[in-house]
Copies of this chain bind each other. A is one copy, B any other.
Amino acid sequence: MNPSMTVAEIARLLGAKISGNADTVIRGVAKIEDAGPADITFIANARYVKHLETTQAGAVLIAPGSWVTNRTLIEVNDPYADFVRLLTLFHPKAIWMRKGIHPTAVVEADAVVDQSAAIGAFCYIGPRTTVGSDTVLYPHVIVAADVVIGCGCEIHSGVTLREGTRLGNRVVIQDGAVIGSDGFGFAATECGYEKIPQSGIVIIEDDVEIGANTTIDRATMGRTVIGKGTKLDNLIQIGHNVSIGSHTVIAAQSGVSGSSKIGDQCRIGGQVGIVGHLQIGDRVMIGAQSGVSSDVPNGDIVSGSPARAHGLWKRIEVALTRLPDLLRRVRDLESAVFKAQTKDKADS
């Protein structure tokens, strides 16, 4: 059951002024194009102001301004932030799992599962593993031996946590992610490649979220680390012994090769590749599809493959559009200069 609130109640909650009907009952949240008379919506971008005339929304969160409309407006300084608050309110996290251990789950005798945790159907909890309080494992989570899972975690279906993996608190892992697979380490010998034992582990700190089907390799020795509050999107590859700082965000399908270190508060686009053994500083921004092959200092912005300073990359991309024409212009210049030289010789 969704909650319901009047516009007046919402405005009071947000400490905001109303223009329009304070008694309208709001039962949900929606995008401005989709909102109906019982929905509240928001405008955070001038491009969407045009929708004010046609929207069916019961109320609109909007920055203060002299809007001429017959819609009910709630004026707030940061419409998107307040909208996210309402979204959380109207859509409380929907955990459909029941507490306790599903009768089909296998929990090895020497594993310890907190009694407030929920363990779904067909979960496997390996030897010497511990699962903290209020943690939810959806059906078909596979936990190998010697794993530590903190409190308040949400591990979705089909996730594998390989031996020795350690998760902090409030970690969220989307479906199908693999944490702790063997690093890609082989020594070339005369009879082919010999596997280098991968005996390290993976550490996932508090408040990390990891996307669907993302893979994080264990360290060869020591630890692969994903720092506190960092968010990884889907289908990302993190190589062995990589270390990522705190509050860094990486978009889908990017890959980080073995032993590279990434700092805090970085923002990395989708389909980026980072080669091994690099140092990427704090607050670095990397454009989508970049290929990073050298260290990046704190605060730098890089783009392109191979990655360059963002400004230079942009100038190169603009110049490239004119490259075919440039070839023609140089040819013209060459014939003009040649003609001048020939004439010069003829003259002298």
Complexed CA–CA distance, A4 and B87 (Å): 58
Describe A's contact surface by its main secondary structure: loop
> Which of A10-18, A50-58, A61-69, A187-195 touches B?
A187-195
Complexed CA–CA distance, A341 and B231 (Å): 61
Known contacts being A139-B124, A215-B176, A323-B323, is A184 close to B96, with CB within 8 Å? no
At the interface, yes or no: A226 with Cβ under 8 Å from chain B?
no
At the interface, yes or no: A344 with Cβ under 8 Å from chain B?
yes
Known contacts being A29-B221, A84-B196, A333-B333, is A175 close to B178, with CB within 8 Å? yes
Considering the complex, which residues of chain A in the window 112-139 have a beta carbon less than 8 Å from any beta carbon of chain B?
120-122, 124, 126-127, 138-139
Contacts of A88 in B (CB 8 A): 196-197
Q: Which of B93, B199, B252 contacts A197 (CB 8 A)?
A: B93
> Which of A19-27, A278-286, A304-312 touches B?
A304-312
Which B residue sits closest to A257, measured CB to CB? B270
Number of interface residues of A (CB under 8 A): 113
Nearest chain B CB to A262 CB, angstrom units: 16
Is A157 within 8 A of B160, CB to CB?
yes
Is B323 within 8 A of A320, CB to CB?
yes
Which B residue sits closest to A272, measured CB to CB? B271
Q: Which of B31, B176, B182, B333 contacts A213 (CB 8 A)?
A: B176
At the interface, yes or no: A288 with Cβ under 8 Å from chain B?
yes
Is A186 within 8 A of B249, CB to CB?
yes
Complexed CA–CA distance, A121 and B160 (Å): 13
At the interface, yes or no: A70 with Cβ under 8 Å from chain B?
no
Is A275 within 8 A of B257, CB to CB?
no
At the interface, yes or no: A211 with Cβ under 8 Å from chain B?
yes
Complexed CA–CA distance, A235 and B178 (Å): 11
Is B312 within 8 A of A306, CB to CB?
no
